[in-house]
Structure 1
């Protein structure tokens, strides 16, 4: 697979996945556990057949090496998806998750004692301000159409959703540290890791089995119609299947991208994907997005690119200068 195919695949599948997720969240906001379980089950099943070959292929990384990653991977995915059930609009969800660099910097500084340049601290401050601005701009959206009691309940639940996203942001950063330690000790085996982290987390979903079953019943009662065309399967199940397939390819293409291009390009593509997903969410689903939101989003995405030294990298490319990595290749 070429780098161009990996980039196009990443943008297409990940953006498509976000559209389907938002569609499910709007129609059945309480079905996030079912959606998360279905995604885990689909990716685990695919890995069981093609990666593990029904456990006939020995693991390159022992299961004990995966323990922390599996636990935090499950927690992060469940909480991130469940936050959509607490009146957190998808655009804010995208912006909030784009602040992962903030959490990573804080935790690596505290837990690993890493030092960063002044520019990176400024970038993180910009990201933080952007998230705060977007969060405040979203906090009272729609309150004018509600009674005082409804608005209070809505705001309380929204605060829970924001708290969940904040925790998931920190947990995701810690998971990345655990993953980094695991790869440092055992080597990088992303395909195996993709299978193991999804498969081993499946038993945890038993804790939310009743909720998953209730959501499944509601999905089965959805109309047998998709885009005005009669279909033999309830449309919510088709949405769920589309989400699973797109999520799988999104993860697969991102893994492929990391092996085809340098980290600078990966960061640029992932940031572009989030920005385009934000635009599509605003346009396709008519999500309210004020001037404050645009200011906040600009700070978040610009800060992300600055943190990854994208601007310097692009300037060097445009001016014909070779990056360090390219210089080494020519020697």
Structure 2
């Protein structure tokens, strides 16, 4: 490794504070150089944005896009009773075309060899689509607040599978927060069972689909971070293209199977009256995907799970008020436990990072 290479390695973020150049240091720097090379494909403009500015921008973008996405999703799927495969198909198609166009543009502008898709990206795409399948089809059996609260507990499978696959290790407070989240979910669903105000909200099939979705949420997060730790980092648009390629294939299979089993072609459900909402779902989902993949690429999946959890709370509140979902005191206790524990986790994580930074300075 040349002196120039070492200098480039030292310019990356989160480099070791140690001045001793050991074999471990050289391995770490080589891995970070691989990450830098993949980052070049993000475009010079994105690279020039510091983390302190990019992170709040990504958070705001995720909140905005998925707030709109959640509203339109419930309006179309739960209220209008349109098949879940229709908006999914349109979202996948839109995102696939946009990500393909960006990949071609970046490849030509950076004079790099164009690669359509790689196995590791398809693997992540397949796992992520399993999660999306579970959460979207669950809306046929449970109401949106139930779906949103379950998806808010994404930290649980991320932690569980992270320990099993040895991707992460956690301090005690994270286990406590995870336990409180679990308690909040139990309280929320006991309230549903006790009130019996809405039989759709306690459907067993819907709950099983949500557990199915959460398992794959944990799997995609740990696999993504494992690939990054190995230096196998992909650009946001590589991951986005692979995800939507898997999505367009899976949703097409669902549409065809529905046609052959029932004789109904569900794309016929697209009409002039709902076309604008379907296009908005596709656009909101596509822009949201771009921001999420940028966040994963620049930061990590655990941070993203915290961001997604907090924005779910506001989606739940809006859904309860706008769509007049019945809510009781126990429901609010469950929601407060979930969101409160997430807020505590964010605060304690920030304090822990500050303490580590002070120790390095000393």
| TM-score class, shorter | 0.7 to 0.9
CA contact (8 A) 1:139 1:158 kept: no
1:215 to 246, 262, 266: 266
Distance 1:7 1:107, change over 3 A: closer
For residues 106-121 of structure 1, the aligned pairs below 5 Å read 106-112=160-166, 114-121=168-175
1:68-106 Cα shifts (integer Å, max 9, x gaps): 2122112111111000011x1111111100111111111
CA contact (8 A) 1:43 1:195 kept: yes
For residues 75-224 of structure 1, the aligned pairs below 5 Å read 75-86=130-141, 88-112=142-166, 114-139=168-193, 158-185=203-230, 186-210=232-256, 211=258, 214-220=265-271
Root-mean-square deviation over aligned CA pairs? 3.3
Q: Which residue of 2 aligns with 1:39?
A: 91
CA contact (8 A) 2:236 2:297 kept: no
Rg comparison, structure with higher value: 2
2: CA distance, partners of 1:75 / 1:47: 20
Aligned residues: 301
Moved more, 73-82 or 21-30: 21-30
Displacement after TM superposition at 1:9 (Å): 2.5
Unaligned runs of 5+ in 2: 1-48
Displacement after TM superposition at 1:35 (Å): 1.7
CA contact (8 A) 1:66 1:182 kept: no
Displacement after TM superposition at 1:107 (Å): 1.4
2: CA distance, partners of 1:208 / 1:262: 32
Displacement after TM superposition at 1:26 (Å): 2.5
**Structure 2 length normalisation: TM-score?**
0.72
Query: Which has the bigger relative contact order, CA under 8 A and spacing at least 6?
Result: 1
Distance 1:54 1:200, change over 3 A: farther
CA contact (8 A) 2:155 2:306 kept: no
Distance 1:195 1:114, change over 3 A: closer
**Structure 1 length normalisation: TM-score?**
0.78
